[in-house]
Amino acid sequence: MIKFWKKMFSNTDKVSTAVFIILRIVVIICLILEIINGNMRNVLDCVIAYILLILPIALEKIFKINIPVAFEICIYTFIFMAEMLGGVYDFYDLFPWWDIALHTFWGFLCAAFGFSLAYLLNKSKKMTLAPFFLALSGFCFSMTSGVIWEFYEYGADHILGIDSQRDEYVNNINSLLLWPKKINNISYTVVYDKDDKELAKFDKYIDIGLNDTMSDMLVNFAGAITFCVMGYLYARNEKRYKFVGLFVTKKE
């Protein structure tokens, strides 16, 4: 297995280019099918996915950097999983764990990107950071990106009226506005308007996105910590932890 992966990554240009071309062809085919079906929301997701797939190559050309093949393939895979499988083919609804997996993956990738930015500045002699602070830079970048994403979901829910934050039913709630402060074993909830007209009746109680937001942040944290530990070890001893370099962007 080790020999297989060494061979796999021995020619980075061919591997990353092959993955990029395959995914791009798949996106184009999906785009055509969605245009035929008249589903404009999915068409938009396909267009966004196509643009995002080009972004890593554009960044390499503009900033004259070299994104390692493993990192580049992970970026392509994440984009495809999020926009195409998640957005177009409803994997978020088909598999309850899909959103959690992507947020964990996102935390890892953003930590790697943030670490790379600080690492590049270190190598250019524009600043000097100890290994711990290189790892901390990656962690802060990842968590900040996660928070900004949750801002986006919150804004989308309140402005556009969608359910990005994934409401869910809960049996128990805690609130200083209610007495007792903790209400357990909720069987059902009834919602009335100001004229006491019943608007809805549903099982349990609806959590308005809080559980989803916090679980997203927690797994983002887990993904960020995972890479930052790796990045810290790599910054201390690049030769010993050479495999981490597969996720660290360098100057050409």
pLDDT of residue 168: 78
Query: Are 131 and 40 in the same domain?
Result: no
Query: Are 54 and 30 in the same domain?
Result: yes
Query: Are 157 and 181 in the same domain?
Result: no
Domain of residue 57 covers: 1-95
Domain stops at, among 95, 129, 148? 95
Q: How many domains does the chain have?
A: 3
Query: Are 133 and 179 in the same domain?
Result: no
Q: Are 119 and 134 in contact (CB under 8 A)?
A: yes
* Cis peptide, bond prior to residue 96, ω within 30 of zero: no
pLDDT of residue 10: 46
**Mean pLDDT rounded to a whole number for the chain:** 86
Q: Which residues contact 103 (CB under 8 A, 6 or more apart)?
A: 146, 215, 216, 219, 220, 223
The residue assigned the tokens 């060494």 is 6
Query: Are 218 and 149 in the same domain?
Result: yes
Query: Are 186 and 86 in the same domain?
Result: no
Domain stops at, among 40, 73, 95? 95
Query: Are 183 and 218 in the same domain?
Result: no
Query: Are 163 and 220 in the same domain?
Result: yes
- How many residues does the structure list for the chain? 252
| DSSP conformation class of 242 | G
The number of angstroms, rounded, from the C-alpha of 243 to the middle of its chain's C-alpha atoms is 22
For 150-208, write each residue's pLDDT tens digit: 998 888 778 877 777 777 788 888 877 777 677 888 888 888 888 888 888 888 888 77
Query: Are 163 and 226 in the same domain?
Result: yes
Query: Are 31 and 124 in the same domain?
Result: no
- Spans of the chain, pLDDT less than 50: 1, 4-11
Domain stops at, among 67, 95, 123? 95
Query: Are 158 and 177 in the same domain?
Result: no
Closest-CA residue to 60 (of 69, 235, 244): 69
- Show the tokens assigned to 92: 């978020």
Query: Are 200 and 212 in the same domain?
Result: no
Global pTM reads 0.83
